[in-house]
Amino acid sequence: MAGLPGTVPARDTAAMVEPLPVERIEYLRAPIEGFEVDVVPPAPIALFQAWLADAVAAGLPEPNAATLATADGRGQPSARLMLVKQVDARGFCFFTNHGSRKGHELAMNPRAALLFGWHAIHRQVQVRGAVERLPRAESEAYFASRPRGAQLGAWASRQSSEVTRAELDERIAMVDGHFPDGEPVPMPDHWGGYVVVPETVEFWVGRFSRLHDRIEYRRTAPGGIDDGAAWSRRRLSP
């Protein structure tokens, strides 16, 4: 029987590629105390903040880093690591160049997923929802808090476009000369913030034999991620 269009044809077992030579890690053997549907907080923000604090206490590098997945108008996906800079009642906020690949994809298809992967403590948090731009005043306030080098980089980089290192260094030097030391660097029009407004937030804990614990919050009514009345909770199969 012919395979479906676009599927990879079956291979002879003898010709199969060997598995990657990586160690198999067994996850936690004991459950996290209180990680039950009827015990966790009624709104997801409280549990997220508690888990983020655990990741910080464990000394994980950049615990606010998350994989941001987007897709273009044809459904072609892409993903990259981002730093989530703020979590509030609206959702999860990050900042970037509007002309980047992710910026173009969000303009065409304003939906995204975030994945916080705290591997050392065997936990993940997945967020899915619509994406909105933050008000310019909020983006400007955050931009003003960035180091000068990062501010200059936002002006110099045409993010996701082809460039040589020499061209990039030349642009940085030109921008550095344009904004004298000691004077504020304004936020460029092509840069700003977004917020992922969650429709689901899933908390995952690694367990033995891959029988992982998963609890999903699902939005069922209008309200922020701090409003317990706006969310239902359920356990998902591993």
Check if the beta carbon of residue 122 is closer than 8 Å to that of residue 218.
Answer: no
The answer to whether residue 118 is domain-embedded is yes
Q: Say how many domains are in the chain.
A: 1
Catalytic one among 210, 214, 233, 234? 210
Return all residues near 36 (Cβ < 8 A) that are at least 6 apart.
215
**Which candidate, 115, 98, 112, 116, places its Cα nearest to that of 193?**
98
Per the DSSP assignment, residues forming a β-bridge with 125 are: 116, 203
Task: Give pLDDT, residue 3.
Answer: 54
The question of whether 123 is a catalytic residue gets the answer no
**Which candidate, 186, 61, 57, 67, places its Cα nearest to that of 125?**
67
The answer to whether residue 46 is domain-embedded is yes
Q: What amino acid is encoded at 69 in this protein?
A: A
**108-127 tens-digit pLDDT:** 999 999 999 999 999 999 99
DSSP assignments along 218-236, one per residue: EE-SS--TT-GGGEEEEEE
Which run of H or of E encompasses 47?
helix 44-57
The answer to whether residue 155 is domain-embedded is no
**145-171 tens-digit pLDDT:** 999 999 999 999 888 888 899 998 998
Per the DSSP assignment, residues forming a β-bridge with 133 are: 194
The answer to whether residue 170 is domain-embedded is no
The answer to whether residue 159 is domain-embedded is no
Could you tell me the pLDDT band of residue 192, with boundaries at 50, 70 and 90?
A: very high
The answer to whether residue 177 is domain-embedded is no
CATH number at 114 reads 2.30.110.10
Task: Give pLDDT, residue 1.
Answer: 43
| Structural domain boundaries, residue 203 | 25-143+190-236
Is the pLDDT higher at 14 or at 109?
Answer: 109
The answer to whether residue 148 is domain-embedded is no
The answer to whether residue 213 is domain-embedded is yes
